[in-house]
Amino acid sequence: MKVIHTFALLCFLAMISTAAIADHHKKSEAPLFRHAVYFQFKEDATDNDIQQIVDEFLLLKEKIDTIVSIEWGITESVEGLNDDFTHCFLVSFKDKSGLETYIPHPAHKAFVEILKPKLEKVFVFDYTQKD
């Protein structure tokens, strides 16, 4: 019985230690810098055109090493306040200098050249992540 209690105590202490380490790591991480980009496509942009743009955008993560992650989605606005913007991309960087490397990067510039002919309007919002 004593062995079971000792084992249970060790398991409990391991759980507490793991949680404390994870909590400390979470608190010590610097907030991410976010680059939110919203696209409104021209009326003549086909589904294939738009899919190519999405695919090319997602490939930027493999081409530009300052990108931490890319999330994206298509509007599901229940309020209808998206002003005809249909696609959103959220690009995360470790810090603002990551974005400053990204903007003039040749891979980003090549992507913009693919995007421009089909883009009606773009909205960009950059911010540092807050908790």
pLDDT category at 26 given cuts 50, 70, 90 is low
Q: Give Cβ neighbours of residue 20 (< 8 Å, ≥ 6 apart).
A: none
- Kindly tell me if the per-residue pLDDT of 81 is higher than 80: yes
Give the E-state strand segments of the chain in sequence order. Answer: 33-41, 67-74, 87-93, 119-128
Q: What is d(CA 23, CA 71) in angstroms, rounded to the nearest whole number?
A: 25
User: pTM for the whole thing?
Assistant: 0.77
Domain limits of the chain? Answer: 1-29, 33-128
- Kindly tell me if the per-residue pLDDT of 127 is higher than 70: yes
Q: Which CATH number fits domain 33-128: 1.10.510.10, 3.40.50.720, 3.40.109.10, 3.30.70.100?
A: 3.30.70.100
Q: Among 15-19, 79-83, 124-128, whose mean pLDDT is lowest?
A: 15-19
Q: Which residue has the higher pLDDT, 86 or 3?
A: 86
Q: Which of 121, 110, 103 is nearest to 52 (CA)?
A: 110
Span 60-88, average pLDDT: 97
pLDDT at 19: 47
pLDDT at 29: 83
pLDDT category at 46 given cuts 50, 70, 90 is very high
Exposed, middle or buried by CB within 10 Å (0-12, 13-18, 19+), for 67?
buried
- Kindly tell me if the per-residue pLDDT of 5 is higher than 50: no
Please, which residues bridge with residue 72 across strands? 89
- Kindly tell me if the per-residue pLDDT of 67 is higher than 70: yes
